[in-house]
Chains A and B, each alone.
Chain A
Amino acid sequence: MRMLLPHPLLSLMLWALWLLLANSVSPGNLVLGLVLAWLIPLFTARFWADALPVRRPLVLLKFAAVVLYDIVVANIAVARLILGPQDGLRPSFIVMPLELRNDMAIALLASTISLTPGTVSAFLSADRKNLIIHSLHTEDPDEIVRQIRQRYEAPLKEVLE
């Protein structure tokens, strides 16, 4: 089973991706999509580290909803900062000690940080224990780290580790 279908979740995603790309669900596309969804993971299996254990899909869904909401808020907040007076801006670097250990989980967290309010993930230390974040406007660095912990890191840890 593992040899034949190394990444069931990836296959499912590729299938959905193919159908979206084709923008149709005709029988031909369904079959062609299935074949591709089966073959591509088979040939790229060695590039993928261990399969991700997604334990609580519902928590992941809630996480996605929170992130989408935060993206909208982030856009409005950043738009306001850009248009507002530049003298009041206090940009700074924040070092955030990571609790996550899984590579994929760290990548997800870093991307989420970049998409949400006023922060861009800038550097991952060589030992993968600290993430350096650049914040556009910092009033309290600890508060930012606390928010990231609570809103993004905790659910990711729950789902992936």
Chain B
Amino acid sequence: MQLIGEILVSLLIVIGAAFTFIGSFGLLRLRDFYTRLHAPTKATTLGVGSLLMASAAYFSLRGEGISLHEVLVTIFLFITAPVGAHLIAKAALHLRLQGVSRLPEDGLLEAPEESKEPAA
């Protein structure tokens, strides 16, 4: 049982490390700003997810009760990663930053005009 647990934890750590590495490597390898955004939002969620599962498994198997801190970290990560990526992309589009792909039409990127009229 001990051995199986250790193998499981090691496997999760290796998988997590691999995906985290690929995510960071993507930042270097991809060609433009917008594609680089994809690496940290995805490859990293599974990477950190695996590491957190390894942590939960390790501390639970040590027999000090079940460790559920990691669930929280996962939830917060899944909430914040897309919001961060969205804001970065939005800022880039606002500045009309050019990349490999053609930008969407200008009409869609107009800022809202709600500041002119006070809300009823």
Interface residues of A (CB under 8 A from B): 17, 20-21, 23, 71-72, 74-76, 78-79, 82-83, 86, 89-93, 95, 110-115, 118, 120-123, 125-126, 130, 132, 134, 136
Contact indicator B22/A120 (Cβ below 8 Å): no
Whole-angstrom CA separation of A110 from B81 in the bound complex: 12
In whole angstroms, what is the CA distance A123 to B112 when docked? Answer: 12
**What are 23 A-B contacts defined by CB distance under 8 Å?**
A20-B71, A20-B72, A21-B72, A23-B68, A71-B45, A75-B42, A78-B38, A79-B43, A82-B30, A86-B30, A91-B100, A92-B101, A110-B82, A113-B82, A115-B45, A118-B38, A120-B41, A120-B82, A122-B90, A123-B104, A123-B108, A132-B93, A132-B109
The winner among A76, A90, A113, A126 for most chain B CB atoms within 10 A is: A126
Q: Are B46 and A120 in contact, CB atoms less than 8 angstroms apart?
A: no
CA distance A141 to B82 in the complex (A): 21
The 3 closest A-B CB pairs, nearest first, are A114-B82, A122-B89, A75-B46
- Residue B5 lies at the interface, judged by CB distance under 8 Å to chain A: no
**What total of A-B pairs shows CB separation below 8 Å?**
127
| Contact (Cβ within 8 A) A71 B46 | yes
Could you tell me the distance in whole angstroms from the C-beta of B26 to the nearest C-beta in chain A? 4
User: Which of A17, A95, A123 lies in contact with B90, CB distance below 8 A?
Assistant: A123
CB distance from B109 to the nearest CB of A (A): 6
List 6 additional A-B contacts (Cβ < 8 Å) besides A91-B32, A136-B38.
A76-B46, A86-B30, A91-B101, A93-B104, A114-B81, A114-B86
Chain B residue total in the interface (Cβ 8 A): 49
Contact status A110-B86, CB under 8 Å: yes
Contact B29 A86 (CB under 8 A): yes
CB-nearest residue of chain B to A82: B26
Contact of B99 among A72, A90, A91, A126 (CB under 8 A): A91
B11-53 interface code vs A (CB 8 A; 1 in, 0 out)? 0000000010011011001111011011101110111010000
Is B116 an interface position by the 8 A CB rule?
A: no
